[in-house]
Amino acid sequence: MNSLTFYLVIAAILFSFGLFGVLTRRSLIAVLISIELMLNSASLNFMAFNKFVAPDTAIGQIYTLFIMGIAAAEAAIALSIFLALFRQLRSINIERARELRG
Amino acid sequence: MSHGVLPQLGFYGLVILTFSGAMIAVFPRNILYNVLGLALALSGVAGLYVYLGSLFIGLMQLLIYVGAICIAIVFAIMLSRPPHIAKPKRKTSKLVGGIGASVLILCVNLGIIYKTAWKPAAERHLDWSVKTIGDFLLTKYVLVFEVISLVLLVAMLGAIIISRYSGRVS
Amino acid sequence: MVKDPILLACIVTVSLPFLSFLTIFAYTRKWERLSCSISIGAVLTSLICSTYLFVATYHFTEPLQYSIPWLLSGKIIIPFGFLVDHLSMLMLLIVAVISSLVQIYSLGYMAGDPGFSRYYAFQSLFAWAMMTMTIAPSMIQFYIFWELVGLASYLLIGFYYEKWSASQAGKKALVVTRIGDVGMFIGLVIVLLFYGNLGVANINSAAVAQKIPATLLTVSAILIFFGVIGKSAQFPLLTWLPDAMEGPTPVSALLHSATMVAAGVYLFARLFPFFMGSHTALQFALLIGTITMLLSSTMAMVAWDIKKVWAYSTISQLGYMVMALGAGGYFAGMFHLTAHAGFKALLFLCSGVFIHHYHTNDFFVMSRQGARGLKVPMVCMTVGALALSGVFPFSGFFSKESIMVALSHHPNKIWLLAGLFGEILTAYYTFRVIFVMLFPKKIEEHGHHQEEHGGGEGVLYWLMGWPLIILASITCVLGFFEKQIEHYLLGDYMLAHAHVAEAAHGGVHAITIAAILLVIIGVAIAWVEYGRKGAAQEGFLTRLPRLEKLFANRWYMDHFYRWALDTFIYGGFTNLFTRNDRRVVDGGIDAVCRATEGSGRIASFLQSNMVQYNILVMVAVIGFVALSFWG
């Protein structure tokens, strides 16, 4: 609880879960969910470093706020793109969108 | 935090919550389960933020991630339900690739974590209050603050435009 | 230029046919008369020169040798030259006489053939090769021209190359003799390695036995004998000679009865002292000769093609010559070679007249069409047949007698008995042909052939007729020169075998009387079956159909060779190469293509518009790069 490595390990494990989801899931929204997990693990890393190692005050928290903001913007855009894609393909299966196939 | 038994138990409980939420977010094939799992995981992370000493950030996490983003995702799910629920089999190669890559990255990260000697900096300020955050946002990190608001504006506009015109076209 | 008349004569003899070949082949193929004149002129000049050489060196006692270094490579010198001794002069004379007679005969036989000039070019090639081979002083030169003789034989057998069987026969002749030549070459190499010198005189000297260990001497002698087996159509390489009858009849007369196949026997006689050094090799030669003689006599008994009968007979008589030489009868073998050259060429040329007239090789058909009406060939053929069977007073009688005497000097009498038995067979198959031709069962009255040729009194007829008459005359009188020839041949060969020559006429009369009786028995059997009035004209063998089939199929030797070829060479050897070509060479190239295609297909998963694969690859690479910084 009071050691840096513990938080870092938790963050690493969360990141791996997220990565697995990104690589394996077929539904676009599931990929988005996994990406959110990964972002959160990065935030956790920042907070842990700030608490135990970094010299600046509150830099980790500010960073986390910014990451949250970016994640929100990204989620908004991504979801609207998914809606547009759904209207075209009638499905959000990532393997169905094959027009750029080479 | 303090070194009592209850906080320790609470900490481990939060960790278990986070991990189970992450697993629910990734493994099952039902999208709604995944969203709910994500909400659970993010709540766990919020708790961890509290344990890290920042109540503000923990509350922000709950507010923004769980309260806004997860709800938005649920909206999108409802709007984009395919007419037939087909559950094709997962490709083995993809699965193997995914497991392999994530295990690899995990090992890499763990290796970095355990091999680095984390030395705390010489002088450390432990001022974690909300007042400090506000001060920094408007003085030292004001550029980033403004840029973030710009990004959010553009994102809103973009989302509206994409949703409107794609409907017109199709 | 060249002072020595003997050397000059040798050079002229050898080079004129060569120049004639080149000229005809390169320049005068369009003008037939010019080509044949050049060729006949060249060979007649060679005949004159060789007669001169024969007479000039008649009283020489020592062999005369001329040589110049021809190919030089460091310390190795390959000479080219001429060896003038009694044996080579005799052989040269035989070759020259028969070549010129055959070339004159061919004027009549090959008239009107589109390949007339080509024929004479090849005849000149053969004459050149054979003559140079005969007077070669070193085994390397001998071998080179031996192979050239084989080449000429191939070209002449396959003369009618548009006919499938003819070209196949030429190929078969070349390949089969080549097999024998391989053995000969290995034998020569062994001698070269151990003795260091391939001069004929050197090989024949006594020093050879000291330098080469006895087993190697035997091995190399047997290997050189393989060359004899191949070229002289002995068992087991005898199947090419009957097929070689696809060539024109004058070619059969020249090459495959008198000269080329006799080259093997000539080799044997040339290296006779060398062979004498190995008793095993002589035994081997004796065995092979006997087997050949008996085998081919049986084959001749059932043949209906006149040329095939004479071909089998040639093989059989060559067997006799090899037997004689194997038993130590140097003079007997060479004398029979001389006599045989005469009467066998005569028989072939006579048959050629019949074939040319009746356009068929089957002597039953010929006789039914009235072949005995052609007087000159019929008489000459009868003379030749009498000589072949060994009837007094023709040359064959004397030569066969000397062979029997030589065989009788061998401790094991079984060879003598085999030789005597062969006499019956020879007489039988020879007179089978003669009686069928002389006494046909019925003469068909078609006769259109006779009208065509106007009774056969044209120039062409006499061009073919005179060589027959000349050869028949030689056959009649040659026998009486036996003593002179013996003295001539053995005079410069004063080894312990001189006592054989003396004992030959010490009165082994019992053998002579036995031989005469056997010949009469053979002729009588033939008469009973074919000659007398009301004869069925079927051999006794038709009552033994299995035997007849065995003989007619050449004791299944061709079948065996075909099977061996198919199984071992085609099935095993070339199959291996074909498979290698298809699987390894082609397969390798195909595999490269398939690998390229396959790897492309594998790598194309990155282009399949699946973002997740790309991300996977990215992450994997980052991970591996990070891992490489481990430690």
User: How do the domains of chain C map onto residue ranges?
Assistant: 278-541, 575-628
Tokens of C328: 């130590």
| pLDDT of B103 | 94
CA–CA gap between residue C300 and residue C314 (Å, rounded): 10
Q: A56 and B125 in contact by Cβ < 8 A?
A: yes
Minimum-distance CB partner of C616 among A23, A95, A100: A23
CB-count burial class (<10 Å; 0-12, 13-18, 19+) for B122: exposed
Number of domains within chain B: 2
- Nearest one of C373, C73, C63, C124 to C254, comparing CA atoms: C124
Q: Residues with Cβ < 8 Å from C465, sequence gap 6 or more? A: C353, C376, C377
The domain segmentation of chain A, as residue ranges, is: 4-89
Phi and psi angles of residue C79, each rounded to the nearest 5 degrees, phi first = -90, 160
- pLDDT single digits (tens) C27-38: 888 888 888 899
DSSP C281-340: HHHHHHHHHHHHHHHHHHHHTT--BHHHHHHHHHHHHHHHHHHHHHTT-HHHHHHHHHHH
**Which stretches of chain B drop beneath a pLDDT of 50?**
1, 170
- Closest-CA distance, B148 to chain A, in angstroms, reads 7
Find the helix or strand (DSSP H, E) in which C82 lies.
strand C76-84
CB neighbours (10 Å) of residue C610?
A: 17
* Residue B141 and residue B70 share a domain: no
Report the residue of chain A nearest C617, measured CA to CA: A23
Bridge partners (DSSP) listed for residue C68: C80
C26-39 residues labelled b (16+ CB within 10 A) or e (exposed): eebbeebebbbbbb
- Closest approach of chain B CAs to the CA of A63, in angstroms? 10
H/E segment holding residue C509:
helix C509-526
Q: What proportion of chain C, given as a percentage, has pLDDT over 90? A: 27
Distance CA(C426)–CA(C340), nearest Å, equals 13
Q: Do A101 and C615 touch (CB under 8 A)?
A: no
The neighbours of chain A, by the rule of 3 or more Cβ pairs under 8 Å, are: B, C
Residue-wise pLDDT for C399-443, tens only, equals 898 898 888 888 888 888 888 899 999 999 998 888 888 887 777
pLDDT at B66: 94
How far apart are the C-alpha atoms of B109 and B87, rounded to whole Å?
34
Residue C304: both structure tokens together: 């209906």
Residues whose CB is less than 8 angstroms from the CB of residue C590 and which lie 6 or more positions away in sequence, other chains included: none
Three-class secondary structure of residue C64 per DSSP: strand
**What are the chain A neighbours of C616 within 8 Å (beta carbons)?**
23
Choose from B90, B99, B104 for mutation: most chain C CBs within 10 A.
B104
Ranges assigned E (strand) in B15-111 = none
B109 within a domain of the structure (yes/no): no
Q: How far apart are CA C424 and CA C297, in angstroms?
A: 10
Residue C352 has pLDDT above 60, yes or no: yes
Q: Does A98 touch chain C (CB under 8 A)?
A: yes
**Residues C245-256 as b or e (16 or more Cβ within 10 Å = b):** bbbbbbbbbbbb
The amino acid that residue C243 corresponds to is D
| DSSP code string of C336-361 | HHHHHHHHHHHHHHHHHHHHHHHS--
Give pTM, 2 decimals.
0.70
Distance from CA of B156 to the nearest CA of C (A): 26
Strands C76-84, C64-73: pairing is antiparallel
Classify domain A4-89 by CATH architecture: Orthogonal Bundle (1.10)
The tens digit of pLDDT for each residue in A46-84 reads: 999 888 887 777 888 999 999 999 999 999 999 888 888
Residue C611 distance to chain A (closest CA, Å): 8
CB contacts of C620 in chain B (<8 Å) are 97, 100-101, 104
Asked if residues C387 and C310 have their Cβ atoms less than 8 Å apart, the reply is no
**Dihedral in degrees, nearest 10, Cα atoms B15, B21, B27, B33:** 170
- Confidence class of residue C455 from pLDDT cuts 50, 70 and 90? very low
pLDDT of C44 strictly over 90: yes
Helix axes C375-389, C509-526, angle to 10 degrees: 140
Q: Which amino acid, C578?
A: T
Distance from C-alpha of C101 to C-alpha of C200, rounded to nearest angstrom = 30
Beta-bridge partner residues of C252:
none
pLDDT above 70 coverage of chain C, percent = 93
In a domain, B91, yes or no: no
Write phi, then psi, for C68 (nearest 5 degrees): -120, 150
Residue C194 identity (one-letter amino acid):
F
Q: Which domain holds residue B135?
A: 130-170
Kindly list the residues from chain A whose CB atom is less than 8 angstroms away from the CB atom of residue B28. none
Nearest CA in chain C to B115: C631
Identity of the amino acid at C8: L
Residue-level pLDDT at C506: 46
Cβ proximity of C374 and C529 under 8 Å: no
Contact flag B97-C616 (C-beta cutoff 8 Å): yes
Cα–Cα dist C278/C223, whole Å: 12
Query: B146 to chain C nearest CA, in Å?
Result: 32
